[in-house]
Amino acid sequence: MAIIPEPTRRRLVQIAHLLSHQKSTRITSMNIESLTGWSSSLIRKDISMIHYNGGVSNGYDVKDLRRAICEALNIAQTIEQGVNCCIVGLGKLGAALLENSIFTGTPFKLVAGFDTNVNRTEILSAPFPLYAASKMESVIPELGIAYAILTVADDNAQRMANILVSSNIKGIVNYTGEILSVPQGVVVENVSPITAMNNLSAMLAE
Amino acid sequence: MAIIPEPTRRRLVQIAHLLSHQKSTRITSMNIESLTGWSSSLIRKDISMIHYNGGVSNGYDVKDLRRAICEALNIAQTIEQGVNCCIVGLGKLGAALLENSIFTGTPFKLVAGFDTNVNRTEILSAPFPLYAASKMESVIPELGIAYAILTVADDNAQRMANILVSSNIKGIVNYTGEILSVPQGVVVENVSPITAMNNLSAMLAE
């Protein structure tokens, strides 16, 4: 399989997510256009990048297309087995994510929260255990946690990222404004409002 | 200028942000490697994509490199003039962003918050006015708001995005799990935890 360009990969990830919520059994590229705003020709081009031949004039089979995308992106196994995740930083932003049932129906499962402030881990309630940050290096490998959501203060972000790396984390969703330095093999998705807005500016200027 | 590929653009956006926080006057690609984890050769390649020739053996001039990146990405004017932004949805996540001083020192200025629940707009305190969502179509053009942070419940996300579009918003930072359908010319940066984790999975599988 040829390398899939990043913009295509990002769109395919979204399309797979969207398909998982579809109630109908078939979907056309025009349907996906109306759900995403991306042009149907771009969508067909993205889908052709994974060499999927299941499209006919009355559209794609929803389940089969989703399976094909997940396989092409090598995320099928991840989705089937599920991924244990944790939140690091239980300030207002972290606490807001704690109480959301945002991960229901996804492969991602929050199994632990961490904060340097032990008061917070004692006061906050969550459907999973909360620990002092000093426990990260033991709890993360023990629970097989692969992904972390980082919601600490900026000036603590790299220090916590270092601990995550030494706890064998695979990926970090970075809500802080810091640019994290991590070794090869660990991936970071930067989703702070500032990064997001800078990306909007650059996209709008294209 | 040739089109800059999306991964390069995303890295350059981060490098420009990082340079704006540098205290030193010069920086080498090795310094940037240690700050980001990207290899110095990749960084030099990214910088060469904007045809910047200011690099010498003792590194780049921090201010000049930042200026060159911002100009190449066409975001220099945006940064100089500033961008008015709003938050739509003042639940726990929106309220968490309200109280952060995350935008200090950036071109982005939060000037309004909106919620369909008028109780929230009355009870919450913010350094800028909070309005009922019914005021969006008048307040957004009036205050020249270009970007919105969308933090409403998923089942309300597309409806609010439609109102943002008809209020002439240019960009949406989407913290909801919904895939938004917006017309050409409006850009969306998807930063929900689920999207971010799906992107991590796809990056790790590469």
pTM attached to this predicted model: 0.82
State how many domains chain A has.
2
Q: What residues form DSSP beta bridges with A155?
A: none
CATH number at residue A111: 3.40.50.720
Which H helix or E strand runs over A17?
helix A6-19
Cβ neighbours of A195 in B, within 8 Å? 13-14, 17
Does B97 share its domain with B163?
Answer: yes
Give yes or no: residues B95 and B188 share one domain.
yes
Last residue of one domain, picked from the residues B78, B109, B133 = B78
Residues in chain B predicted with pLDDT less than 50, given as ranges, are none
Report yes or no on B205 lying in a domain.
no
Q: What is the reported pLDDT for A86?
A: 96
CA angle A157, A193, A187 (to 5 degrees): 50
Q: Residue A55 has what pLDDT?
A: 67
Q: Is residue A204 part of a domain?
A: no
d(CA A197, CA B110): 12
Q: How many CB atoms lie within 10 A of CB A38?
A: 20
Q: Quick one: pLDDT at residue A100?
A: 59
Same domain, B125 and B173: yes
Smallest CA–CA distance, residue A103 to chain B, in Å, is 7
Task: With a cut of 50, list the residues of chain A below it in pLDDT.
Answer: none
Average of per-residue pLDDT values in chain B: 89
Please check whether residue B100 lies inside any domain of the structure.
yes
Residue A43 is predicted with a pLDDT of 92
Domain assignment present for A202: no
Closest CA relative to residue B153, chosen from A102, A171, A149, A32 = A102
Pairing of β A26-27 and β A60-61: antiparallel
Identify whether B39 is part of a domain.
Answer: yes
Quick one: B40 and B113 in the same domain?
no
Whether A194 and B85 lie within 8 Å, measured CB to CB? no
Q: Which two tokens stand for residue A76?
A: 């099928």
* Dihedral angle, C-alpha B142, B148, B154, B156, nearest 10 °: 10
pLDDT at A7: 84
A93/A157 same-domain check: yes
Among the candidates A75, A90, A108, a domain finishes at A75
Q: Domain check: are A176 and A97 in the same one?
A: yes
Residues of B in contact with A173 (CB under 8 A): 193, 196-197, 200
Among candidate residues B78, B109, B128, the one where a domain is terminated: B78
Q: Which CA distances in Å does B48 have to A149, A199, B62?
A: 33, 20, 16
pLDDT tens-place string over residues B159-197 = 999 999 999 999 999 999 888 999 988 999 999 998 899
B9 touches chain A (CB under 8 A): yes
Find the closest chain B residue to A149 by CA distance. Answer: B193
CATH number of the CATH domain containing A57: 1.10.10
| Domain range for A38 | 6-75
ipTM at complex level: 0.81
CB–CB contact A13 B202 (8 Å)? yes
Beta bridge partner(s), residue B16: none
In this structure, the answer to whether residues A36 and A120 fall within a common structural domain is no
